[in-house]
Amino acid sequence: MTGRERILASLAGRAADRLPVDIGATEATGVSAEAYGPLKSGLGLSGGHTRVADPCLLTVRVERTFRERLGADAAGLFFEPRRWRPGRLPDGQDCLYPERWRADRTSDGGEVFRHPVAELVCRRRPGERVFRCEGLPLAECRTADDVAKKLQAIAFFDWPYHADETAPEFGARVRAVRAETEAALVLNCRLRLVGGALALRGEAFLGDLDANPAVADAILGRLADAYVARLTDVLPEVVGAADVVCVTEGPTEGLGVDLYRRRVRRHHERLFAHIRKTSGLPIVLALSGVEPALARELVELGADAVAPAAAEEGASRPVASLSDWRSELGRDVTLWGVGCRASILKSLEPAAVREEVRRAVDSAGGPARLVFAFPEPLPPGTRAENLLAAVEAAREMRP
């Protein structure tokens, strides 16, 4: 099978010739910028560039040669900058940054980025790797009318200012990618309703769901408006070229199933219905901090695959295992990711990595209805021989 056939077979519940693999096709399954250059060297690859596609989180846009060296079956479609400029990573490696990404130095030696359109400030403090967002654009909203005055922040708070290609330019590039690869193409448009509401308003949003439902509904409705408008621009450009649409969500801690059904579900239903009507493409849900019971609600709305987040190191709350996810979602939903942390690729030996991957796949009920992926970007210090061992262990499995 081709990679495209493998991924689509898994999503549809058909038997593939082997377990499909993803490295870098979604926001969650990418590679950190500091890890990318050493991994390429360790895999025997030369040339190309380390393009920092997300300067806040320091993740890269994975190149075709990298994917093909690992036998990956999926490739991500992301809006990109028209131009890049040379720069350096915090560890001194050469890289390319988007031309429009300009962070200012602060007096304490850190950096700050101020989004020129949305009400957004991201800051990297001295000694930290990544930028963290500060401020809540909707924090002072008291009524639905207040929310309506913040439409620009709602539309652009999560859209990378530096990714400035137009929808037609994006569509032309996607069609060119389609012509040169047999990998399944995954469209990423940064669609997250509850997570977006929390990023805009903070924990107050969860209180609004009960105490101030008019404000909560206005936020979710305006977010859905923005996402539908985004998809209306993008989907017609990629129909016939893209194979899968990725929708993200979370965290949703504190949002129970009953409250979700009363206040949130209809907004997700609208978003999913628009994707289905406009493109007919399968939907994969990339989740962070979402419980399996709530994910079941999203699956009932039409999601074909669920990508649970990795457990956070040092997390105070227990995290559902892959067996828990399989038990809750059943055998008719594809799980995208093996569940074990990517940090094993820098802390274990190849034989132990292979065993860890096999154990994780077994916990998901075997390789049927599964796409192999680490549910977090590969971290600095990832060893090439361990990444190869993990991928090879996955590719040996037959559904």
Residue 130 lies in a domain: no
pTM, two decimal places: 0.94
Instruction: Give the domain CATH number at 240.
Output: 3.20.20.210
Give the whole-angstrom CA distance, residue 97 versus residue 99: 6
Q: 245 forms bridges with which residues in the sheet?
A: 187, 283
Indicate if the pLDDT at residue 316 is higher than 60: no
Place of tokens 């990339």: 286
Q: Is residue 189 part of a domain?
A: yes
156 assigned to some structural domain? yes
| Burial (0-12, 13-18, 19+ Cβ within 10 Å), 112 | middle
Residue 110 domain-assigned (yes or no): no
Q: Which residues pair with 295 in a beta bridge?
A: none
Phi and psi based region of residue 289 (left: phi greater than 0; alpha: psi -120 to 50; beta: remaining): left
Q: What share of the chain is helix, strand, coil (3-state, %, to 5)?
A: 40, 15, 45
**What total number of domains does the chain contain?**
1
In a domain? residue 117: no
Average of pLDDT values for 94-98?
97
**Of 330, 241, 329, nearest to 279 (Cα)?**
241
Instruction: Give the range among 110-114, 275-279, 310-314, 371-375 with minimum mean pLDDT.
Output: 310-314
* Residues 171-213 pLDDT 10s: 999 999 999 999 999 999 999 999 999 999 999 999 999 999 9
Cis bond before residue 251 (omega within 30° of 0): yes
Q: Which domain holds residue 216?
A: 3-83+138-395
Asked if residue 90 is part of any domain, the answer here is: no
In a domain, 123, yes or no: no
Tell me: the pLDDT tens digits for 239-250? Answer: 999 999 999 999
Q: Around 356, how many Cα atoms within 13 Å sit in the side-chain half-sphere?
A: 21
Q: Which helix (H) or strand (E) holds 176?
A: helix 167-180
Mean pLDDT of 258-284: 96
According to DSSP, the residues that pair with 353 across neighbouring strands are none
User: Which residues is 38 bridged to in the sheet?
Assistant: none
Residue 54 lies in a domain: yes
Give per-residue pLDDT as tens, 370-392. Answer: 999 998 999 999 999 999 999 99
Closest among 222, 218, 226, 217 to 190, alpha carbons compared: 226
Q: In this structure, are residues 7 and 185 in contact, taking their beta carbons and an 8 Å threshold? A: no
Residue 371 has phi, psi (to 5 degrees) of -115, 125
